[in-house]
Chain A
Amino acid sequence: MMEIDPFIFRLSIFILSIFIGYYVVWSVTPSLHTPLMSVTNAISSVIIVGAIIAGLAGNSNSIFDNSSIFGFLAISLAAINIFGGFLVTQRMLAMYKKKKKDK
């Protein structure tokens, strides 16, 4: 039997995740659509893992070579999003309160 290309496994994960995303997002209540956008923003910044690999790829003689400098810049950009995205989502979600039962 021939070996399956690992790409196919990644593609499977990708396709199944699209379906998970489809059902999960339809169940998000419309009143939380803005936090949904800010939190998706934060999690898509997991691209920082690529940025870290790129940043650390330079050798010890030249920490900042052509490719790692782009990595470092990407780390900062992604970090703005991660901290900004999660914190602003937290801030928004903290405001959603139920009616106080005052009777």
Chain B
Amino acid sequence: MISANLSAIFYLISGVLFILALRGLSSPETSRQGNLFGILGMIIAITVTFLSIGNFSSGFIFVLIFLLVGGLIGAFIAYKIPMTAMPELVAGFHSLVGLAAVFVAISAFLNPEAFNLGFPGNIKLGSLIEMSIGAAVGAITFSGSIIAFLKLQGIMSGSPITFKGQHPLNALILISIVIVIYLLCSTQSSNLFWILLAISFLIGFLLIIPIGGADMPVVISMLNSYSGWAAAGIGFTLENTALIITGALVGSSGAILSYIMCKGMNRSFFNVILGGFGGTEQTKNSASKEQKPVKSGNAEDAAFLMKNASSVIIVPGYGMAVAQAQHALREMVDTLKKNNIKVSYAIHPVAGRMPGHMNVLLAEANVPYDEVFELEEINNDFANADVAFVIGANDVTNPVAKTDPQSPIYGMPVLDVEKCKSVLFVKRSLSPGYAGIDNDLFYKENTLMLFADAKKMTEDITKNLD
């Protein structure tokens, strides 16, 4: 058994290692080392906890068993999961952090003596406030992430679910959470604790159902942030530095990612959270769509255009992930490079279903990361490029965002794809994207539509390039 002061120092060390783990992600070279720091920090935190309790009796065996069972499941998932399913995986993991926070809070509420927080029915006020907040945020994270998971997995429809009086109802529930926490702290009633958990689960569910599929990058980042705040709340209860530091890091990390994602769509955070965006506006635009002429081509035309180009920019989007076309795409690019054509990739901040989604998929397909560029880095290059190859992206290329103040996506930063000499647009049909609006790019003089599955089209183009 080690002293409380010594273990506090070790917790501090593991907190610092977690900071270094995030610091490592500033570049791909240092990132792997950063991850090792994170693992080391975790090992220190767990070991110190065992040593500070110093109870290696029968309970200890069970701790190890539960730890191993969880660990095996986690390791199995980590090795089996396809990279395209990363958004679902992260949402699922968030829900587990949330639920773990809830369980620890329940346990501390039922047996406060174990944590030096007082006695059942007479828990220290400060600790009770901290654990109620931790439990409530944890419960919201859990149920919210479950909904996000179901939407990403396609088990639940990605279109927003809205009903009358939704916002007043949510506001009412949020206010009642505050009231219940207040009553709980003044009465210490365990019934109120269970009620608090129940309504927190409910509000997490209600908060996420009105948010549409394309806004998932924001939702995932936001839930990431919540899971951090829940951990911090529990950290205050347990008076544990490692947990407080980590909670603050994760909380601010998720908040920054949400901010970046909102900026990528030029929408305010509240606009996203209130939901209802997308899926509802198709009717307005479908009428005028029929008249405009569209040029469509096949793989042979596309291959011809690319063969005669000297530089090509690839614009991947969620459709590439759905079609699993990243490997086929890399093969096509390899062929282009053999013909001395310069190829680079342009990634919009909100391409895909989570921050950095496209980068991971391209990395999986062995695309070197120094050929992949962010919007600000590459947007000026479109004017000098010969061909833009849009694969699975839509709204993020729509010039309407720059020209039509009436459009719901007006002001959103978009890739200047139309400035290329010619645009190849791989898409299954002319249907609008998730914002529910028509893409002007389809009808431009220099756009050639390639109507096909992204993967099949890319493979066909590669064949025609040889």
- A residues sitting closer than 8 Å to B (CB atoms) are 6-7, 10, 13-15, 17-18, 20-22, 24-58, 60, 63-68, 70-100
Q: Is the CB of B53 within 8 A of A25?
A: no
Of A28, A50, A66, which one neighbours B108 at CB under 8 angstroms?
A50
Q: Is the CB of B93 within 8 A of A34?
A: no
Distance (whole angstroms) from the CB of A103 to the closest CB of chain B: 12
**Within 8 Å CB of A68, what residues of B?**
59, 107, 111
Q: Is the CB of B25 within 8 A of A39?
A: yes
Distance (whole angstroms) from the CB of B237 to the closest CB of chain A: 8
Q: Give Cα A66–Cα B239 distance, bound, in whole angstroms.
A: 23
Q: Give Cα A17–Cα B354 distance, bound, in whole angstroms.
A: 25
Distance (whole angstroms) from the CB of A13 to the closest CB of chain B: 6
Q: Who on chain A is nearest to B112 by CB?
A: A67
Q: Is the CB of B74 within 8 A of A80?
A: yes
B462 at the interface (CB under 8 A from A): no
**Within 8 Å CB of A91, what residues of B?**
78-79
Quick one: CB contact mask for B49-90 with A, threshold 8 Å, 1 for yes? Answer: 110010101111011001111111111011101010010011
Known: A33-B355, A47-B231. 16 other contacts (CB 8 A): A17-B15, A17-B245, A20-B19, A29-B27, A37-B90, A38-B86, A43-B249, A44-B247, A49-B242, A51-B103, A51-B107, A55-B62, A68-B111, A95-B360, A95-B366, A96-B28
Q: Is the CB of B46 within 8 A of A44?
A: no
Q: Is the CB of B114 within 8 A of A67?
A: yes
30 contacts between A and B (CB under 8 A): A7-B236, A10-B235, A10-B236, A24-B19, A30-B347, A31-B374, A33-B354, A36-B22, A37-B221, A39-B34, A39-B35, A40-B250, A45-B96, A46-B14, A46-B41, A49-B243, A50-B234, A51-B103, A52-B53, A53-B53, A53-B114, A55-B63, A56-B63, A56-B114, A66-B111, A74-B99, A86-B35, A87-B78, A92-B86, A97-B368
Q: Who on chain A is nearest to B70 by CB?
A: A79
Quick one: CB contact mask for B215-255 with A, threshold 8 Å, 1 for yes? Answer: 00000110010011001101111111111111111111110
B364 at the interface (CB under 8 A from A): yes
Q: Is the CB of B110 within 8 A of A75?
A: no
**Within 8 Å CB of A14, what residues of B?**
232, 235-236, 244-245, 247-248
- B residues sitting closer than 8 Å to A (CB atoms) are 11, 14-15, 18-19, 21-23, 25-28, 31-32, 34-35, 38-39, 41-42, 45-46, 48-50, 53, 55, 57-60, 62-63, 66-75, 77-79, 81, 83, 86, 89-90, 93-94, 96-97, 99-101, 103-104, 106-108, 110-111, 113-115, 126, 220-221, 224, 227-228, 231-232, 234-254, 256-257, 260, 347, 349, 354-357, 359-360, 363-364, 366, 368-372, 374
Q: Is the CB of A56 within 8 A of B59?
A: yes
Q: Give Cα A95–Cα B369 distance, bound, in whole angstroms.
A: 9
**Within 8 Å CB of A95, what residues of B?**
360, 363-364, 366
Q: Who on chain A is nearest to B94 by CB?
A: A41
**Within 8 Å CB of A38, what residues of B?**
86, 89-90, 93
Q: Who on chain A is nearest to B67 by CB?
A: A79
**Within 8 Å CB of A86, what residues of B?**
35, 38-39, 42, 78
**Within 8 Å CB of A89, what residues of B?**
35, 38
Q: Who on chain B is nearest to A58 by CB?
A: B59
Q: Is the CB of B254 within 8 A of A93?
A: no
Q: Is the CB of A96 within 8 A of B363?
A: yes
Q: Do A32 and B58 contact each other (CB < 8 Å), given the known contacts A56-B63, A67-B111, A94-B32?
A: no
Q: Is the CB of B42 within 8 A of A54?
A: no
Q: Give Cα A70–Cα B52 distance, bound, in whole angstroms.
A: 20
Q: Is the CB of B19 within 8 A of A79?
A: no
Distance (whole angstroms) from the CB of A27 to the closest CB of chain B: 5
Q: Give Cα A73–Cα B16 distance, bound, in whole angstroms.
A: 28
Q: Is the CB of B107 within 8 A of A74?
A: yes
Q: Is the CB of B239 within 8 A of A10?
A: yes
